[in-house]
Structure 1
Amino acid sequence: MIMLPSNEIISSERGHIEDVIVDSRFRGMNFGRLLVDTLICIGKHMGCYKISLDCSHEKVGFYEKLGFQCKNNMMYIRFDEN
């Protein structure tokens, strides 16, 4: 939720992108960029005030080129269905 100093609420919707993977045969053809750009457009259209994602260190530059910024560290615990 975003609240302005005037107490006006802008939006409480946010998006999260997870596991964008392009088959190795199609890498370098801008499909990853197209996928993420499309998800950003969908998020804006749905009224999201932000979109977050988790990525490996090697992919930070790719997402920065698309306008994402690094902020804080993300930690999680995963419970597999074993």
Structure 2
Amino acid sequence: MRIRIHKVQHIGEMSFLQHSKCECRPKKDRARQENPCGPCSERRKHLFVQDPQTCKCSCKNTDSRCKARQLELNERTCRCDKPRR
């Protein structure tokens, strides 16, 4: 495990009263970046991408991408499958 030491501009002795007056930096809340859309409900979420304007989920794979690999796009599962005969 690697430990990074924070470099401090001025290191000095402080009394407890001085130290208690220090203010901590506020944490950057990820909750503030609220997403108005709910997550995609599909099981394999990594295969889907969500449009932030319409909140619509769609496949990352395209039909042309699957056809280039001589496969067919299964829109329900959003995967390239072997063509049925």
In the superposition, the TM-score normalised over structure 2's length comes to: 0.18
Name the structure with the higher strand share: 2
Greater RCO, 1 or 2 (C-alpha within 8 Å, sep 6+): 1
In the superposition, the TM-score normalised over structure 1's length comes to: 0.18
Name which one, 1 or 2, has greater alpha-carbon Rg.
Answer: 2
Name the structure with the higher helix share: 1
